[in-house]
Amino acid sequence: MTVRKKIARSGYTIIEMMVAITLGLLIVAGLATLFDTNSRARNEIERANQQVENGRYAMQLLTDDLRNAGYLAEFNPLLLATPATKPDPCATALTTLKVALPIAVQGYDNGAIVPTCLSDVRTGTDIVVIRRASTCAVGDTDCDALVAGVPYFQASGCSSATELASASVANYYTLDTNSANLTLHQKDCNPPTTPGTQAPYHQYRTHIYFIANNDKSGDGIPTLKRAELGATGFTIVPLVEGIENLQIEYGIDTAAPSTGVPAVFTPDPDSYNSCTGVTCVGYWRNTVAAKVNLLARNTTRTAGYSDGKTYSLGLKVDGTANSVGPFNDAYKRHAYEATVRLNNTAGRNTP
C-alpha cells in the first residue's frame, strides 16, 4: 500500500504583492524626488558660479584696460593740443586718430549717442571708448607679431634736430599703418654720423565697450562686447555673456595746477558744469579715475523665481541714485562695482 505525503505549498498572496509594490513605488518616488531636488540645486549652483565668474571677468577686462588707457610708450601727449570737439571713436583715418591721441577715454552716458560702428546696443547702458598703445612692443617675447594695415605707434627717444630737438611735436612720435614709416630712434642716436637703434613700436588700440542685446543674433542674452580697431576698420567681439548693464562715473581732475586726483565724479563729463565745446573735451582729457558698475544676470531662468530686487549702479547726472529694477522675471542678478585709477593720465597730472 502506497502512502502519499501532502506537500505544504507557500507563496505571496495578492494583497501582499500589492503592498510590496506600493512600498517599492514609494521608495522609487522618494529617490526620484531626491534626485530631482539635487539636480535642481546643482544647476542653480552652476548658474550662480557662472554668473559670479562672468561678472568678475567682465570687471577685470574693463578695469585692466582703463588702467592702461592713454599709454603711449615714452611719448607725453600733454604736448598735444586738446581737440576742439569730441573725437569720433569710429574714425580710422590716421589724421583723426592723431587728433584723438590726448583723449585716453571718452564715453556716452546711457547710450544717448551710439557710435556708428556699433550695433544692437542695449538701451539705457553706457558706452566707453579707451585709446592706448599696446604695452608690448613688436618683437618682444610673447608679443603679437606685426599685422599689415594695423596702426602702430612709435615714440622717439632721440634728441636729434629731426626728432626730440625739433620744434615740432609731430616729430616726437609716429602713428602709421605702414611699418616702413616707423623710422624714429632710441636714445643711443648720435646724429648725424650714426642714426642709432630704431625705437620700438606698439600696436595702437581703440576699444569701444558696450552692452549688446544679444550674444548671437536673436538669442536674447545680454553680452558685454568690444569694437576693436583693426586693419579693415572695427570688428565687434563678444566678450562676456550675461552682462546686462554698464554704468560708469568719470573722476575729473579739475584742480589748477593739476594734482592727478579726481575732484569730482560725474557720469557725463559732456554736461558737467554746463560745459560746452573744448571745455567738455578738456574734462575728458583730465579724467584720472573711473567708477565702474556692472549688472550681471544668469543666462537661463530659475523655475519658480521672480526677481523683485532693485539694483544701485552708481549715480545719475543729477546726483540721484541710478537704480534699475525690479525686473519681476525669473533671472537671478548680481551687481558689481570697482573704482580704478587711470594710471597714465593721473600720473601725467601729478605735480
Q: Which residues are CB-neighbours of 228 under 8 A, at least 6 positions away?
A: 205, 206, 207, 234, 235, 236, 237
Q: Is 90 exceeded by the pLDDT of residue 1?
A: no
| 3 pLDDT above the threshold of 60 | no
Sign of the CA dihedral running 240, 242, 244, 247: negative
Burial class of 206 by CB neighbour count within 10 A (0 to 12, 13 to 18, 19+): buried
Q: Are 339 and 315 in contact (CB under 8 A)?
A: no
Confidence check: pLDDT of 196 > 90: no
Counts for the chain of helices (H) and strands (E), in that order = 4, 13
CB 247 within 8 A of CB 322: yes
In this structure, what C-alpha cell is assigned to residue 309? 530686487
pLDDT in tens, 110-128: 998 999 999 999 999 999 9
Q: What is the pLDDT of residues 19-55, one digit of tens each?
A: 777 877 788 777 777 666 666 666 666 777 778 899 9
Q: pLDDT value at position 272?
A: 96
- β-bridge mates for residue 160, sequence order: none
Let me know: does 76 contact 156? Beta carbons within 8 Å: no
Mean predicted confidence (pLDDT) in 58-73: 97
pLDDT over 80 (residue 16): no
Query: At residue 267, what is the residue type?
Result: P
Contact indicator for 251, 268 with CB cutoff of 8 Å? no
